[in-house]
């Protein structure tokens, strides 16, 4: 995750950056306010991290990449934190094992809050300087984008953790908003031609969104909304998880080995109503709403459903071309809502519901080069054995997504809010 050259970006107003810094940092703490210290320390699987670790790591980013480099009198809050809260930056030095982050009962949650206050005070001192070089103000902006990514991870990782508890506790005691009838699925058609994809450097972007480049796409159609729970129930009832003809070989081996027959967080229940299913949400267990988009699916499950439906998943170039000019106006929630209206482009749920799997492998754009230094490790070194997802989810922070944003996960990842948008040729 690196910045493009300063000349390609408009200068950042220090006043607005200061306000944004305070808002983003405050929201991270707010996400933890309803949790116990035990909630914040436990790790449910190697791919997830404790809330406390997320809060410390995002602070570590500002201390390590900004304060350590910029302050002439720099002193770390605690020298041990440099190793404890380093995620995967080999250029920085040693790292605590990812799968053992839940063993860090010390430092305490209060110490992590003190760490955040310490670093915030020093960053705010830098932001009080109206002559802060643009290179550093953009690096602070980068740190805030990085923290927003972790805000989303806090909620998805916590959901997985709470789902493992037999009590099925809710993160939020607020009632889940009433559902609506999903609009009938329609197809938006796009002509064949050369399209441009990638960021135009007129605002913030991560390095892997560039360079902007041309790509030819054949004529295609994109579904007007995401696949619903009801449509996925039909796939299950038709034997979708038992039909090897629908699955990629590796996907079939994976579901057989793990004995999978339904999306993550679904379970049968006699009390669930007509569908016979319940779904664990951040609001606790809920009867499965057949109108809401199906979520928490792996790439393999999304691909198998698309084959069963006589369709396919889009490429990332198709998705971005279709989404060009659409602005994310999603209000944000803790669970995706049904689609009841299309956008001006005829497509709904491009943002703010579920990340949408594509068939595109996570690879560099033509002309992409990994930046020098530790910050260059953020994206480029992960361009192997991952698939690209587009859009955003219901727990993506407001203002964080855009049409060029490239998310990426392995084909078996299910704990993120990932869903299906169909395409046909």
Residue 68 sits in a domain whose CATH number is 1.20.120
| Interatomic CA distance for residues 330 and 350, integer angstroms | 9
pLDDT at residue 422, as a whole number: 98
The closest alpha carbon to 176, from 306, 256, 311, 287, belongs to 287
Domain span including residue 111: 6-163
pLDDT at residue 28, as a whole number: 98
| Interatomic CA distance for residues 173 and 170, integer angstroms | 6
Backbone dihedral angles phi then psi of residue 284, each to the nearest 5 degrees: 90, -170
pLDDT at residue 7, as a whole number: 35
> Tokens standing for 375?
């910050």
Domain assignment present for 176: no
> Which of the listed residues 130, 163, 196 is the one where a domain comes to its end?
163
pLDDT at residue 4, as a whole number: 39
420 and 280 share one domain: yes
> Tokens standing for 355?
């990340």
Sheet with 418-419, side-by-side order of all strands: 407-409, 387-390, 355-361, 418-419
The closest alpha carbon to 397, from 146, 140, 137, belongs to 146
Dump the DSSP string for 306-374.
HHHTT-BPPPHHHHHHHHTT--------SSPPPP----TTS---SSSB-EEEEEEE--PPTT--PPSSG
90 and 227 share one domain: no
> Tokens standing for 306?
């698309």
109 and 237 share one domain: no
pLDDT at residue 273, as a whole number: 63
> Which of the listed residues 105, 130, 163 is the one where a domain comes to its end?
163
285 and 392 share one domain: yes
Residues 206 and 1 sit within 8 Å (Cβ to Cβ): yes
295: burial class by Cβ within 10 Å (0-12, 13-18, 19+)?
Answer: buried
> Which of the listed residues 163, 196, 216 is the one where a domain comes to its end?
163
pLDDT at residue 390, as a whole number: 98
Domain assignment present for 304: yes
Q: For the chain, how many structural domains are there in total?
A: 2
Give the gyration radius of the chain's Cα atoms. Answer: 22
From first to last of the 425 residues of the chain, give the pLDDT tens digit.
333 333 345 567 788 999 999 999 999 999 999 999 999 999 999 999 999 999 999 999 999 999 999 998 999 999 999 999 999 999 999 999 999 999 999 999 999 999 999 999 999 999 998 778 888 888 999 999 999 999 999 999 999 999 999 999 999 999 998 888 999 999 999 999 999 999 987 888 999 999 999 999 999 999 999 999 999 999 999 999 999 999 999 999 999 999 999 999 999 987 666 678 999 999 999 999 999 999 999 999 999 999 999 999 999 999 999 999 888 877 789 999 998 765 445 899 999 999 999 999 999 999 998 877 778 777 878 889 999 999 999 999 998 999 999 999 999 999 999 999 999 99
């Amino acid at each position: 995750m690196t910045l493009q050259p300063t000349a390609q970006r408009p200068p950042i107003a220090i006043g607005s950056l200061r306000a944004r810094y305070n808002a983003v940092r405050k929201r991270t703490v707010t996400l933890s306010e309803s949790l116990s210290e035990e909630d914040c320390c436990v790790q449910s699987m190697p791919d997830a991290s404790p809330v406390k670790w997320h809060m410390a790591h995002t602070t570590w980013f500002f201390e390590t990449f900004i304060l350590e480099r910029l302050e002439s009198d720099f002193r770390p809050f605690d020298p041990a934190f440099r190793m404890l809260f380093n995620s995967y930056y080999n250029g920085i030095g040693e790292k605590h094992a990812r799968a053992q982050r839940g063993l860090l009962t010390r430092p305490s949650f209060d110490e992590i809050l003190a760490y955040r206050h310490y670093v915030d005070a020093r960053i705010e001192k830098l932001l009080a300087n109206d002559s802060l070089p643009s290179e550093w103000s953009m690096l602070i902006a980068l740190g805030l984008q990085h923290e927003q990514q972790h805000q989303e991870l806090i909620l998805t990782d916590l959901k997985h953790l709470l789902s493992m508890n037999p009590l099925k506790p809710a993160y939020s005691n607020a009632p889940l908003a009433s559902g609506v009838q999903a609009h009938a699925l329609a197809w938006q058609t796009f002509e064949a031609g050369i399209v441009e994809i990638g960021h135009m450097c007129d605002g913030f972007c991560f390095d892997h969104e560039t360079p902007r480049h041309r790509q030819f796409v054949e004529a295609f159609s994109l579904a007007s909304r995401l696949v619903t729970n009801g449509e996925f129930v039909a796939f299950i009832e038709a034997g979708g998880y038992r039909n090897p003809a629908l699955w990629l070989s590796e996907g079939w081996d994976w579901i057989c080995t793990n004995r999978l027959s339904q999306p993550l967080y679904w379970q049968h229940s006699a009390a669930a109503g007509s569908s016979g299913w319940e779904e664990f949400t951040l609001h606790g267990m809920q009867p499965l709403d057949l109108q809401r988009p199906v979520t928490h699916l792996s790439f393999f499950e999304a691909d198998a459903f698309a084959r069963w439906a006589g369709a396919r998943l889009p490429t990332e170039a198709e998705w971005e071309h279709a989404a060009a000019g659409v602005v994310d106006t999603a209000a944000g929630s803790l669970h995706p809502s049904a689609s009841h209206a299309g956008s001006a482009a005829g497509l709904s749920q491009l943002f703010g519901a579920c990340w949408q799997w594509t068939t595109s492998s996570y690879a560099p754009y033509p002309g992409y080069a990994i930046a020098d230094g530790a910050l260059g490790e953020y994206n480029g070194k992960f361009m192997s054995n991952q698939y690209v997802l587009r859009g955003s989810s219901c727990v993506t922070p407001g203002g964080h997504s855009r049409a060029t944003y490239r998310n990426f996960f392995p084909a078996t990842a299910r704990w993120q809010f990932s869903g299906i948008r169909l395409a046909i040729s």
